[in-house]
Structure 1
Amino acid sequence: MELVLPVLLSALAMTLIIGVRYLLSSGFFAWLTNRIRPGQYSRLELQMGRERRWSLASAAIYGVPAGIVAWGWQNAGWTQIYTDINMYPIWYLPASLFLYLFAHDTWFYWTHRLFHRPSWFRIAHAVHHDSRPPTAWAAMSFHPVEAISGAIVIPALVIAVPIHVGVLAIVLLIMTVMGVTNHMGWEMFPRWLVQGSLGKGLITASHHEKHHELYRGNYGLYFRFWDKVCGTDIGLGTFDDNSARRGNG
């Protein structure tokens, strides 16, 4: 009991942190969408309310393993998170950043592809694709089964792979921003990046929009690597500029 209560409190704290992070990040990009593309989310109020409910439920699921790991890092040495920047060579900082992003992307690609098999889609992934079109609030709109698959990957990595606490913060920032901006329904990054050499390897909203349009291919999260290797890269989607004026007649 002496151990259970602190771990539960840590899980509750992480749930609140993740929930607030979601509300702030998705709320900011939803606000930005309304400013830059007025009418983009017109008549989607019921859908956005549903996205928020599923996402906050997902925040609770993400909070449990995150809270356990956070307590274990601070009190039991369960993780490979370190604070002394000199513990590993300086080159390991960017290397660990890429390693975490690539490992997360690999996990996401294969689990995402699994969730598109008919039985798994009906059980869980249909919740995410019920957002038509997706909005900035859809970033964490998952069925609990799918939320569990996403909640365990970063906690598993910090137990197995050394990472500086600052680099971990960058990983979480990238994960949050990409998760939201890939679902906004418009492309915030410049054309030269999306359609240039960088865009051939990175995923932005244009790439993920194609996935939501066709329900097949473009399964990655950060990189197009696995989609290209496995022949599931179906290119970039387009955005209907008229949708930005839906609320303006």
Structure 2
Amino acid sequence: MRDFILTCQWYTIMGVGIVFFACLYFVFGGLNWLLSRRILPAFGYGRVLDPRPLAPQQLRRELGESAVTIFLFGTGMVFPWGLLQLGWARLAVQAPGWQIALEILFMVVWNEVHFYLSHRLLHVSWLKRFHLPHHRSVVTTPWTCYSFTPLEAMMLGNVLLLPMLLHDFSIYSLAFVPVFSIVFNNIGHSNYDYLPDADRDRWWLNGARRHHLHHACYRGNYGFMFPFMDRLFATELAPDAAETRIARGAKPDEKQNAA
């Protein structure tokens, strides 16, 4: 794989990238949809977090916006490839298993930090106009996870660049980043409680609850999968933050969101 990446042309990288991200989106999105809408409810396990109906034409809009994101993520693979071609970054040769494991762990943490900072910026500055379309999905689905505007997709999609300038990663560590990212992203937008028996006040692995609250309330819970950034910056929402809103069938106040 390393030799292929270093020797192939830029248009090949872009084409492979588009196919790669399309497969991630539709395979994991479809699996999540089946689990949360068909399989787990049939066994009586878990629960829907927000039972309100989807907005009109929501799925069509999400799929259309996600198609643009897939294109941008895929063609954007030319940038890390370009760092390698310019010699600004290098790939580790024959990295041992323990190094790959540590690199993946680091990238999980870095992805959380990068997402929190980017996401918070999209909520507190003039950039929020580019994030509000994502929040049209008040009740989320597995197809919401790539439903971004182009600028938001580019902000969130550059997670590899800085680490590659600072360390020689294994190609397998780098390739695994979009895989765990789409898995976590799907869980966060599933609108399904996969851990119904977990302590609601200590939901380290329950990103679905946290991100469901973010979409229901618009503000708070800016993290990706884990709560440590929200706890560090005091932006964590209470577990019952959206109960009143859901009970009365309300949607976030668009005028307040735009303030």
Q: Same fold (TM over 0.5)?
A: yes
**SS of equivalent to 1:236:** coil
Matched with 1:81 is 91
Q: Deviations over 1:56-76 (max 9, x none)?
A: 101111112213434765x66
**SS of equivalent to 2:103:** helix
Match of 1:9 among 3, 7, 12: 12
**SS of equivalent to 1:191:** coil
Matched with 2:63 is 52
Matched with 2:220 is 217
Q: CA deviation at 1:116?
A: 1.0
Q: In 2 relative to 1, CA 79–237 (structure 1 residues): closer, same or farther, beyond 3 Å?
A: farther
Match of 1:23 among 23, 26, 34: 26
Asked if residue 116 in structure 1 is aligned to residue 123 in structure 2, the reply is: yes
Asked if residue 144 in structure 1 is aligned to residue 132 in structure 2, the reply is: no
Percent of counterpart pairs with the same letter? 23
Match of 1:235 among 230, 238, 244: 238
**Mapping 1:183-194, distance limit 5 Å:** 183-192=189-198
Q: Deviations over 1:76-106 (max 9, x none)?
A: 65534324134xxx64333322221121211
Matched with 1:69 is 80
Q: Whole-Å Cα distance in 1 between the matches of residues 241 and 93 of structure 2?
A: 43
Q: In 2 relative to 1, CA 173–191 (structure 1 residues): closer, same or farther, beyond 3 Å?
A: farther
Q: Deviations over 1:126-175 (max 9, x none)?
A: 11101121100001100001001011112442343333233334433221
Matched with 2:178 is 172
Q: Whole-Å Cα distance in 2 between the matches of residues 213 and 43 of structure 1?
A: 12
Q: Whole-Å Cα distance in 2 between the matches of residues 235 and 163 of structure 1?
A: 38
Q: Deviations over 1:21-61 (max 9, x none)?
A: 21111122112222134897976672111111111101111
Q: In 2 relative to 1, CA 130–17 (structure 1 residues): closer, same or farther, beyond 3 Å?
A: same
8 Å contact kept, 1:185–1:239: no
**SS of equivalent to 2:190:** coil
Q: Which moved more, 1:25-34 or 1:211-220?
A: 25-34
Q: TM-score, normalised by structure 2?
A: 0.76
Q: CA deviation at 1:222?
A: 2.6
**Matched residue type, 2:221:** N
8 Å contact kept, 1:209–1:238: no
Matched with 1:98 is 105
Figure out how many residues of one structure are paired with residues of the other and give that number. Answer: 229
Q: Whole-Å Cα distance in 1 between the matches of residues 234 and 242 of structure 2?
A: 24
Q: Which moved more, 1:111-120 or 1:208-217?
A: 111-120
Q: Whole-Å Cα distance in 1 between the matches of residues 217 and 77 of structure 2?
A: 33
Q: Whole-Å Cα distance in 1 between the matches of residues 201 and 53 of structure 2?
A: 32
Q: TM-score, normalised by structure 1?
A: 0.79
